[in-house]
Amino acid sequence: MREIIEELARVLVPEPVRHDDESDKEYTGRAEAARKARKAAVGELTMAAEASPTEDPVLARLAELKAQRSEIQRQIRLIATYAREFVRPEPYRLRALADAAGVSISTIRNSYDIEDKLTVATRIGRKDIKDTVRPSVDDQGWRLPARPTYAE
């Protein structure tokens, strides 16, 4: 297992390529930084593998990356929702959002749903520009906080 972890760390943090105009000191510094990053990656991969049900570093890292991708996609959906449904006086253009997110216009257009609109409305505390959703309220009519509030 140790061999897999060390090789995976080398895959993820490769040796730097030496540039023709680079001094020995500069290259040595970059190589040392890569070595330290690889050592840190070995530690992270070891901990992830030990915490994983399969105890497999490859599968554990892939699962971590999948979770990160899901979170990034959720954030893109919420930002697109806000930009298209809540920004005044007019929403962001689909082309600009698609270009910034690196996706097609149709992907941006179809990326969010009513749940995302409700989430954004509740978090910012106001209705959307088309007045189709309002912030969520509890059974006593209080607006639910978008973030935890702390007493001072």
Residue 67 in tokens: 């979770």
State residue 150's pLDDT score: 46
**Of 64, 101, 66, nearest in space to 80 by CA:** 101
State residue 148's pLDDT score: 38
**Going residue by residue through the chain (152 aa), what tens digit of pLDDT does each one get?**
889 999 999 999 999 999 999 999 999 999 999 999 999 999 999 998 888 888 899 999 999 999 999 999 999 999 999 999 999 999 999 999 999 999 999 999 999 999 999 999 999 999 999 989 988 776 555 555 444 334 44
Residue type, 141: G
Gap between the Cα atoms of 34 and 16, Å rounded: 7
- Cβ(119)–Cβ(133) under 8 Å? no
Give pairs for 9-12: CB < 8 Å, separation 24+. Answer: 9/38, 9/39, 9/41, 9/42, 9/45, 10/38, 12/38, 12/41, 12/61
User: Taking the C-alpha atoms of 119, 123, 127 and 133 in order, what is their torsion angle to the nearest 10 degrees?
Assistant: 20
Residue 88 in tokens: 């005044």
Quote the pTM value: 0.74
Domain boundaries, given as residue ranges, for the chain: 1-51, 70-147
State residue 114's pLDDT score: 92
Read off φ and ψ for residue 81, nearest 5 degrees. Answer: -60, -50
